[in-house]
Homo-oligomer: A and B are copies of this chain.
Amino acid sequence: MDKQNGQWRLARRPVGAFQDGDFTWTVQPLPTLVDHEVLVRVVYLSLDPTNRVWASQDSYLPAVKLGDVMRGGGIGVVEESRNPAFAAGDTVQGLFGWQQYYVSNGKDLQKLPSLPVPLDAWSGLLGHIGLTAYFGLLEIGLPKAGETLVVSTAAGAVGSLVGQIGKIKGCRVVGLTGSDEKCEWIVKDLGYDAAINYKKENVADALKKQCPKGIDVYFDNVGGEILNEVLGQIALHGRIVCCGMISMYNATTPVPGPANIINLVSRRARMEGFIVLDYQARAEECFRELIGWWAAGKLKYRVDVSEGLETAPQAILRLFDGSNAGKLLVRVSPEPR
């Protein structure tokens, strides 16, 4: 076997945003497969806020070790298999890492079921993004028709699905995002009732205007000051889905929490975290419903593709400055026909 495997390895713990030198590019020959092993060619690498956490500290998964290939989720195609459960040509997903090929023992690999969706839907609609939006909103947020739902990173991969699912469930949906283009997209194309450009508008005032009866459900991807403003306007028995706190991931010193947390008491409100891994076992019911909505034109997704694995360290910065539009992916190799 004479294929070469290009890889990004974690060279040092990032301080603040990722910088040049945090990753090192290495090229290694692929090993010969032994029994039960499967060789995967990576097609799409998923770039997610949680990657920043994995690079610096133990969390729900241990931190990536220095010198190891950077951890990342992906979609790929089996090129060679010595495992009876997989055959060449199968499309698969797993934590393949930031590399062109992945050698699996066959246990850490999931075959993608044959469903009537394009391959990139596994990154932008289904997979961990879909599970996060679907179960986070419906099981933790418990939205009811007529309630007001606020979504941060409303044009992002998870947020854009959350807002649309909120509309399907009959909520008034208000999205926060960072550009006029994205504000327009979520209102005109995705059906949000209102959009707030948090970089230009006073968030507290805009929320007050758009949520006159208070905020019943907040799907939080950012934490920080926006979380504080939402807590200031949380409705009685409101629920905050703690999906992520991207505003804190690059922090080099502890970021104070929201002073308005005191409102949890008087408003009888709830904040609750969750991790998508807890819902893997229920993926089928989620994907069936998401595909149904997508096929009916009620649920749209958008992917933002960076071409070539070499672009990954630069591309991921766009998650943190808010310049991505839709699910951020790296195309590592061509889609299979």
Contact = CB atoms under 8 A, between A and B. Distances in A.
Nearest to A257: B257
A150 to B, nearest CB: 17
A275 to B, nearest CB: 6
Contacts of A245: 261-262, 265
A267 B273 contact: yes
A260 to B, nearest CB: 7
A228 B256 CA distance: 10
A244 interface: yes
A248 interface: yes
A264 B258 contact: no
Which residue, of A244, A260, A271, has the highest number of chain B Cβ atoms within 10 A?
Answer: A271
Contact of A266 (B223, B268, B273): B273
**Interface magnitude class on chain A:** 20 to 34
A257 B262 CA distance: 8
Given A254-B259, A259-B257, A273 B278 contact: no
Nearest to A258: B257
A261 B270 contact: no
A239 to B, nearest CB: 9
B60 A262 contact: no
A272 interface: yes
Interface string A200-232: 000000000000000000000001000010000
Contacts of A262: 223, 245, 248, 255
Contact of A272 (B228, B264, B266): B264
A270 B273 contact: yes
Contacts of A267: 60, 273
A259 B261 contact: no
Contacts of A272: 264, 268-272
A301 B25 CA distance: 66
A125 interface: no
Contacts of A59: 266
Contacts of A265: 242-245, 273-275
A274 B278 contact: no
Contacts of A254: 259-260
Contact of A255 (B242, B259, B264, B268): B259
Interface of A: 53, 59-60, 223, 228, 242-245, 248, 254-275, 278
26 contacts: A53-B266, A242-B264, A244-B265, A245-B261, A248-B262, A254-B260, A255-B262, A256-B256, A256-B257, A256-B259, A257-B257, A257-B259, A257-B261, A261-B261, A264-B271, A264-B272, A265-B273, A265-B275, A268-B272, A268-B274, A268-B275, A268-B278, A270-B270, A270-B271, A271-B272, A272-B272
